[in-house]
Structure 1
Amino acid sequence: MFANTVIGICWTAVVVIWLITGATSSATTRKTAGKAGRWFRFFLAIVFPLCFLVDDLRILSTVYVFPNDTYLQWISVSLCISGISFAIWARLHLGNSWAMPMTQTENTELVTSGPYHLVRHPIYAGLSLAMIGSMLAASALWSLWYITWTLYFLYSAFMEERALKARYPIDYPIYKSKSKMFIPFVL
């Protein structure tokens, strides 16, 4: 399937770009994940990968949620490429201000330009859009993986909003009133 190949290349590009640009990011000062964030990370890092090793669950990797249709594959690839492009633009625009989800960096300013002018969380929005696109061409097991990551991004965004409001008590509420969280002009 061409869709799975293109989607795989897109996600590989994300990993490579994040590894390269992550080496230049500022040191983190404080984690804001909380107990629920640690459980999400535990699930994503340990529990879910075990699903691929358990025979009874591995059957889900052969069951597809959506039909294998050519038009759906094109839609899937388009959403994945669009989302990943938006997330990469946001990551590169942040430069040294980027940090791991739910962490704060030293000596950074509130970024409100570029993709951050369109939405407050463009990396999460872009990666979630790419995951929705990927899910259209994925098996049930991978769809569960994508849904879990999207929930993690939503949780992270809400936690980061709280931390940003505390860190920028004057500027952040103004920025928040002028921009949407995930979808420009909508949400």
Structure 2
Amino acid sequence: MAFIWFIYAAWLMLIIFLTVQAIGVKRDTEPHLLQSFGLMFAIIAAFLLPRLPIFDFVNFAPVGTVLGGIGAAITIAGMALLVWARQALGRNWSQTVSAKQEHELVRSGPYSRLRHPMY
């Protein structure tokens, strides 16, 4: 159970990082306010819903220390790839898939080897 709180903390730090990094990015060609609220709702629901008693049946198999550690390591590796991809995008990053003003094609960082590293 300790691994799940570690993963929650890592997600919280990632969300804070991405929010701070979003300051100063290029403007979208169209507003996406509704999509932003939908994404925030989905993130909050993903953290809160599994804690409700109605979802106790989902945890049907106990996760041991080894499997929990492997899951946490894979999660952190995925987050590291996301941060690297976000850094490579620079000001071209967007929370939603959209065209930016003065949009540029990024071919450096993970984009030199992977087509969509943030997915």
TM-score computed with the length of structure 1 as normaliser: 0.51
Q: In structure 2, how many angstroms separate the alpha carbons of the residues matched to 1:27 and 1:3?
A: 38
Kindly indicate whether residue 71 of structure 2 is the aligned counterpart of residue 79 of structure 1. no
Show the counterpart of 2:95.
100
Map 1:31-180 onto structure 2 (within 5 A): 42=38, 45=41, 49=45, 52=49, 58-61=53-56, 63-64=58-59, 66-124=61-119
**Structure 1 residue 30 displacement after superposition:** 3.6
**Structure 1 residue 58 displacement after superposition:** 4.3
Which secondary structure does the structure 2 equivalent of 1:95 belong to?
A: helix
Q: How many residues align?
A: 111
The one-character-per-residue Cα deviations of 1:58-113 (angstroms, maximum 9, x if unpaired) are 41156315432111101111111100000011111111010122211111210011
The one-character-per-residue Cα deviations of 1:122-164 (angstroms, maximum 9, x if unpaired) are 111xxxxxxxxxxxxxxxxxxxxxxxxxxxxxxxxxxxxxxxx
Displaced runs of 4+ in structure 1, greater than 6 A?
Answer: none
Relative contact order higher in (CA < 8 Å, ≥ 6 apart): 2
Structure 2 stretches lacking a partner, 5+ long: none
More helix by share: 1
Structure 1's 85 and 43: CA in aligned 2 closer, same or farther, altered over 3 A?
Answer: closer
TM-score computed with the length of structure 2 as normaliser: 0.77
Q: Which amino acid letter does the alignment assign opposite residue 28 of structure 1?
A: D
Which secondary structure does the structure 2 equivalent of 1:28 belong to?
A: coil
Structure 1 stretches lacking a partner, 5+ long: 33-37, 125-187
Q: Which amino acid letter does the alignment assign opposite residue 112 of structure 1?
A: R
**Structure 1 residue 12 displacement after superposition:** 1.1
Q: In structure 1, how many angstroms separate the alpha carbons of the residues matched to 2:11 and 2:77?
A: 12
Q: In structure 1, how many angstroms separate the alpha carbons of the residues matched to 2:74 and 2:96?
A: 23
Kindly indicate whether residue 23 of structure 2 is the aligned counterpart of residue 27 of structure 1. no
Q: Percent identity, aligned pairs only?
A: 27
